[in-house]
Amino acid sequence: MELTVYNINGEDTGRKVSLNESVFGIEPNDHAIYLDVKRYMANKRQGTSKVKERGEVSGSTKKIKRQKGTGTARAGDIKSPIFRGGGRVFGPRPRDYSFKLNKKVKQLARKSALSYKIKDKSIVVVEDFQFDEPKTKKYHSIIDNLKINKRSLLVLPEQNKNIYLSSRNFPGSEVITTSELATYHIMNTPVLMFSESAIDILDKSLSNK
């Protein structure tokens, strides 16, 4: 399995990168993808929602009326959830939503997501490039030259501040490193752009585990 390597002008460099079948060509496991995406989104939740319950609302604890003889339902104090201004029943409390997955399940999920992208022809490989200074216009021209008219994600082998800053103000574009690449990013982005050296790093990190 091979992909053509393009330069930042959108031209074919004449080189191709070989993709490991065990990483980019497996039979996708949908359940592994579901679990890993769910884990990623759950880990991003703050879990800081909190409401006041019956014991935390200010108000008198005196019984507001006698138990029987009023012709209406029995009632306790004014802080009861059935009254306006009373405490909420079973309201949210601060909690940690995160959970862990086995390393092999996360590896399988990423391989499955990448295999889907290869089948959809949604992966573009660009030769390694550098920016001397942050330039949104320059980054925009690369996207145009590669004829990418959808949201895109550029995966670099390591952090590059100038490229990151150049893409930050460009809508529908994101730049991350191979170590940050998660199943969520792969599935949530229509087009994946890999720098040439990032493919090798990703291949090694996923094929040796």
Record the pTM: 0.82
* Final residue before a domain boundary, out of 91, 118, 146: 91
- pLDDT of 209 reads 52
Q: Alpha-carbon distance 175 to 160, whole Å? A: 9
Are residues 78 and 145 both part of a single domain?
Answer: no
Residue 171 has what pLDDT? Answer: 87
Please give the residue range of the domain that contains residue 106.
2-44+100-207
60 and 144 fall within a common domain: no
Q: Do residues 107 and 123 both lie within one domain?
A: yes
Element housing 201 (H / E): helix 196-207
Beta pairing partners, 174: 153
What pLDDT, on the 0 to 100 scale, is given for residue 2? 87
pLDDT at residue 208, as a whole number: 62
Check if the beta carbon of residue 191 is closer than 8 Å to that of residue 151: yes
Q: Which residues contact 142 (CB under 8 A, 6 or more apart)?
A: 8, 126, 129
- Write the DSSP string, 3-67: EEEE-TTS-EEEEEEEPPHHHHSS---HHHHHHHHHHHHHHT---------TTTS-S--S-SS-S
Q: Is 75 in the same domain as 143?
A: no
195 and 162 assigned to the same domain: yes
| 36-69 per-residue burial string, b: 16 or more CB within 10 A, e: under 16 | bbebbeeeeeeeeeeeebeeebeeeeeeeeeeee
Query: Are 8 and 59 found together in one domain?
Result: no
User: Do 68 and 166 reside in the same domain of the chain?
Assistant: no
The Cα–Cα gap between 48 and 68 comes to 42
Residue 77 shares a structural domain with residue 167: no
In order along its 209 residues, the chain shows pLDDT tens digits of 789 999 999 898 888 988 988 999 899 999 999 999 999 999 999 999 999 999 999 999 999 999 999 999 999 999 999 999 999 999 999 999 999 999 999 999 999 999 999 999 999 999 999 999 999 999 999 999 999 988 999 999 999 999 999 999 888 889 999 999 999 999 999 999 999 999 989 988 887 65
Tell me what pLDDT residue 112 has. Answer: 96
Q: Are residues 145 and 188 in the same domain?
A: yes
Residue 105 burial (C-beta neighbours within 10 Å; 0-12, 13-18, 19+): middle
Q: What is the pLDDT of residue 1?
A: 78
Q: Write the burial class of residue 199 (CB in 10 Å: 0-12 exposed, 13-18 middle, 19+ buried).
A: buried
Residue 106 burial (CB count, 10 A): 19
